[in-house]
Each structure stands twice: as structure tokens, then as C-alpha cells.
Structure 1
Amino acid sequence: MEYIETKCDPFKYLGETKLLHALGLIVRDDYRGHKLGSRILAARKPLCLSQGINATATVLTGPASQISAERSGFEKNCVISLKELADQGLNYPSDENWVTNLGVMVKKWDSSCPRVWDSWEVDDTKWTIQDLPPEDENAALDILIKYFLKDEVLCRISNLLEDPVSLQSITEFWRISMSQRMCLACYNEVDGKKTLVGMNVCVVDSAEERFPTIEIEGDAWINVYKAMVYIETKCDPFKYLGETKLLHALGLIVKDDYRGHKLGSRILAARKPLALSQGLNATATVFTGPASQISAERSGFETICVVSLKELADQGLNYPSDENRVIKLMVKRFK
């Protein structure tokens, strides 16, 4: 443990003088399967903040604990194999496949959050685009399930809402994505009442390791996910932009009764200050419908790859053989 923390000092990485460290997370055998590990990890946040500590770091040694930590919003800051430990003269098998991770919180949620990225007033209505706070995650998931899954082209064609396994898997995907604290939330405020009306699920993605690394389950969700993987394999946005990290997004939606105010374009524009605050120079997204593609173009996005539903069908995916309906991989540079 000392070796991995020497290799990548979590204090320097996080810019902190104090951290919540841990050694020993365990659940009794007969109580496993209830995601108690993830709950215990999540409980570190209020514990930390009660002591004025902004972040936590842990050496995670097994696959199960590593998966649990990722689901709770931890980032792999450093990875070493047992072979590397053996090469240091320690008594471990020379195994390159078994790895140990140093996990750290990706983004601090402190007194500066939620940060407001855009705000404006029209008549007696105030609009705000800000960080999505943890207490509104369930409301955000409800919006994604109720509105995004019925409207988004690939999800609708794949009948994702009718596939319980897919619905559970994509919900977990979104929940883990939200743990990065990079999602944009749009609020409407009238007479002091603030309502979440739209959002964009954003994550910091690395060319070396995509986030979140969660198993994609369910025929419909696999069908949707493989379409997005295919277009990004055809034209790698990291290589195209010359960047090692990007702001990626999956899930831009505005509730039906709040459409017509160009909130989608406003949310897209808010990616710029969000990205720059994290040292990111560009963003990339697969836009699947004509309306979102037009909105992205108006917001300064550039199309770098176009794939028709017919091409997806030719790849063995479950889409109609339609040459006229296309998905677009679009990017925008901020610097």
C-alpha cells in the first residue's frame, strides 16, 4: 500500500493536506448481495464533511471492492499489478492480470457547489443551469426514464423501456455517471419554487479508460450502447481532437412541458464553463435525433462522423435498414 501511494501521492493529486483514509471494508458473508459495501462507501461523504475533510482515498485490492468503489463515485488514480509488486522485492506472485487500485474521489462536493454555469430571467421566471446536487439525483433519473427513453431515437427503436434488464442497467449507468458530480441540471424558479426541468448527464472520459466501466446488460441497452461504440470506433473523438480527456455526455433531455424555451441549447452551451473548470478543452457526444443534431449545430458543434441506421443494421445491430435516418458524432472545442 505504501508503494502505490508513493507512486501516486493522493494528497498531491487532490491538492489536500488532509484526507479520509481507510483500511478494511468488509461485509459478513451472509449479508452480502445487498450492496452494503457501496452504501458504506457512500457514507464516507457525510462523515468527511462533518470533519471539514473534502476527499477520501483508499487502496482497493480486489475486483469486488474495486467495482463497488467505482459505483460509489471513486476514480482509479493509480493501478499496479501483483507482478510489479513482486518486481519491487515483495512476496507476491508475478501476476500481471491481478491489479491493485488506488481509488480517490473524482470531484469534491464542497461549499462552492452547486456552481451556477448560466442563469437568466424571463418575465417572472428565473432559469438556472448548475451542477446537479446529490439530493436531486432520483428526480433526474425519473426525468431520464420518463422523457429521454421514450424520445431518444435508439432507445425508442430498441424498445428499451419494455426491457426490465436494460432499464435497470441504463439506470445504474446513469447513477454511476452522476457520482462524478459533472452533470448539468436546469431549474425553473417561480415564486421561490425551484423545479428541475432538464438535464445533461456528463462525465469526464479518458482515452485510456472509459467511464463508467460498468457491465452493459439487457438486449435493448446493449443494442443502443453498441451503436454508440461503433460510431466512436469509426472516428475516435480523442484522436480527432488531439485530447486525452474529454467531456462526454449521454442523456440530454428537457421535460415536455418546458420545451420551446431553447433550454437544450442553453444546457449544451453550459458545457463550456463546466469543462474548462476541470481543465478539459473539448466535448463529444453522439446525437441521434434531428432535433438534438440541429440544437448541437446551433451551439457550435462540428459533425465528425455520420452513420445511418442501415449501416448499424449491416453491423448486425437490431435497427431498421433505413439510409435516411442517421446518428452523428459531434464535437466542440473550447480552446
Structure 2
Amino acid sequence: MASWNRTNEIPYPTVWHRFEIRNPSTGTCETYRVQDLPPDRIDDAIRHMCEYFLRDEPICASLNLAQDPIGVEEITAIWRSIAKQRCIVVCYEEGREEIVGLNMLTVVSKEDPPFDNKFESCAVKTFVGSTLYMTNEAKLFERYQHAKGFLSAWGLSVHPSYRRRGIAAQILTARVPICRAYGLPFSATVFSHPGSQIPAAKIGFRDVFTMKFADLARVGFQLAVDVEWNKLMVLEIE
């Protein structure tokens, strides 16, 4: 699916970002780190994404993807495939190994073959198809002609117990040092909900291509979501 490979010159796993956030329940500051997902936590990461991302992400929720056994199998295969690039990042609270959050990162290269959207699950076909439609309409390699690749993602999730603390923005912040280490000039992702669009904007992502979900329905993607806009957003790396 992807032609980019991480070089051995970049240590793996690497801790990309550390931050402190006050716990609203206790009032104490807690320290977290965002690091590469270790290979022995891939299964745990996929369980997290199946339990929380598929349930809560607006497009997946509207398609009932979490209740689609074939769809879960096919989206899991996508995550396992991108895990081979060793780009996925996980957030931990220091001193604990519980998964606080995940970003299923992948590097998209200009040389990549067209993404094969021949899925058996209609839900996965719609989820992947709408994401690829937004990305293709943005014409990123035409906008950034010097770029050979960019950092993207197939899902951002924070554990429900840790939400509304600003952790999503901190996970997204890790993309800056990651892009610099990988030599990538920008990161681009389709964000489908204000819960990810707002923190993305706070750290410097800007709208490049947006569509109302009602307009996506007119081009063939029937999505009964409770939000108005789907956004392809870009973070340029200085």
C-alpha cells in the first residue's frame, strides 16, 4: 500500500514529545509522552481503535462500522499494513503503560500506487472512499510540487477517560518533530469532527479543502453524521 520505509538512522522507538497537563479531577499536573508505537503493543493499539475510534469517529459511527465484522477485519488490515512503516504514535502517562491515545500515522509518497478501495464491506468502502476523495480533491502534490511525500493518518483517538484535557492537540504536536526527522515538508489529514479539527487548528493546521457532508452525499458518499463539515487540513513544517 505504501512505498515509504523508515530508515534505521531514525532510532525506533523514539519519544517525540513530552508534555504536562493538569488532571481536572485531582488538580495535579501529570506528565505524558508521545512515542513510536512499540511492536509488542500493535494488538493493544488495534483493540483501542476498534473499541473507541470506530464507535466515536463520525463517519465510522454513521456507518455502524464497529458492528460490521467484515468491516472491522478490513479496517484492521489497513492499520496492520501501515504499522509496518513504524510511524504510528502512542501516548502514555509517564509511569504507566495504559494507552491514553493513538495516531495511526502513515507516510504517503508521490510514487505510491493508487489505493485499492476494493473492500467487501460497504462501510469501509465508504469511509476509505470519502477520505481518499477529500485527499485527492486537495491536489496536495500539485500544491506542494517539491514534496516527495507527506505525513498522514488513518485515525486519531483518545481514551474516553482522558478526553477534554487537550491531549489530542499534544498528540498532533508530535507531527512537527516527526516530519522534520523524516524530511517531510508537511502533514495532511482529513479531520471529520470539531473534536479533532479544533485542536488541529490550534497547533497550526489550516483548511485546504473542505466539504459539507451534505455535499459529499451528492457525490456518492451517504453519511448520516451530526456535524456539518469534513476538512482536509495541512500543517506546513518550517
What TM-score do you get using the length of structure 1 for normalisation? 0.64
**Residue 234 of structure 1 pairs with residue 137 of structure 2:** yes
Does structure 1 residue 292 correspond to structure 2 residue 196? yes
1:247 maps to 151
Question: Which amino acid in 1 is paired with 2:160?
Answer: D
Tell me which of the two structures has the higher relative contact order, counting C-alpha pairs closer than 8 angstroms and 6 or more residues apart.
Answer: 2
Number of equivalences? 231
Residue matched to 2:16: 117
Give the letter aligned to residue 120 of structure 1. Answer: F
Mapped partners of 1:319, 1:167: distance in 2: 18
Q: Secondary structure at the match of 2:13?
A: coil
CA deviation vs aligned residue, 1:164-199 (integer Å, no higher than 9, x gap): 11110000101111111011110013xx43322101
Q: Which of 131, 138, 141 matches 2:46?
A: 141
SS of residue paired to 1:146: helix
Within 2, Cα distance between the matches of 1:307 and 1:116? Answer: 35
Note the 1:261-280 alignment, pairs <5 A: 261-280=165-184
2:131 is aligned with what amino acid? M
Distance 1:277 1:237 in 2: 21
Q: Which residue number corresponds to residue 119 of structure 2?
A: 216
- How far has the Cα of 1:220 moved from its partner? 0.3
> What residue identity is the alignment partner of 1:107?
R
User: 1:246-268 CA deviation, whole Å, 9 max, x = no partner?
Assistant: 00111111000011221100011
- Paired-residue identity, %: 32
Equivalent residues in 2 for 1:8-157 (5 A)? 76=3, 106-108=5-7, 112-121=11-20, 123=28, 125-157=30-62
Distance, in Å, in 2 between the alignment partners of 1:162 and 1:321 is 17
For residues 236 and 165 of structure 1, the distance between their equivalents in structure 2, rounded to whole angstroms, comes to 31
Q: Contact (CA 8 Å) 2:117, 2:129: kept in 1 or not?
A: no
- Answer whether contact 2:117 2:125 (CA < 8 A) is retained: no
Residue 321 (structure 1) shift: 9.3
1:183 is matched with which residue: 73, 88, 104? 88
What is the CA–CA distance in structure 2 between the aligned matches of 1:221 and 1:255, rounded to whole Å?
A: 23
Give the letter for the 1:209 counterpart.
D
Does the residue aligned with 2:168 lie in a helix, a strand or coil?
helix
Asked if structure 2 preserves the Cα contact closer than 8 Å seen for 1:204 and 1:211, the reply is no
Letter in 1 for 2:155: G
1:171 to 58, 76, 79: 76
1:203 pairs with 2:106: yes
Rounded to whole Å, the distance in 2 between the matches of 1:157 and 1:181 is 30
Does the alignment pair 1:318 with 2:222?
yes
Provide structure 1 residue ranges, at least 5 long, that are not aligned to the other structure: 1-69, 78-105
Change (3 A) 1:199 1:295: same
Task: Answer yes or no: is the 8 Å Cα contact 1:157–1:319 preserved in 2.
Answer: yes
What is the SS of the residue equivalent to 1:193? coil
Report the 3-state secondary structure (helix = DSSP H, G, I; strand = E; otherwise coil) of the residue aligned with 1:173: helix
Amino acid at match of 2:191: F
Decide whether the 8 Å contact of 2:3 with 2:112 is kept in 1. Answer: no
Rg larger in structure: 1
CA contact (8 A) 1:129 1:270 kept: yes
> Is 2:62–2:225's contact at 8 Å kept on the other side of the alignment?
no
Q: Sort the Cα spacing of 1:212 and 1:110 in 2 relative to 1 into closer, same or farther, 3 A.
A: farther
Asked whether the 8 Å contact 1:177–1:212 carries over to 2, the reply is: no
1:291, distance to aligned residue in structure 2 (A): 1.4
Paired with 1:235 and 1:126, the residues of 2 have a C-alpha distance of 37
Change (3 A) 1:265 1:107: same
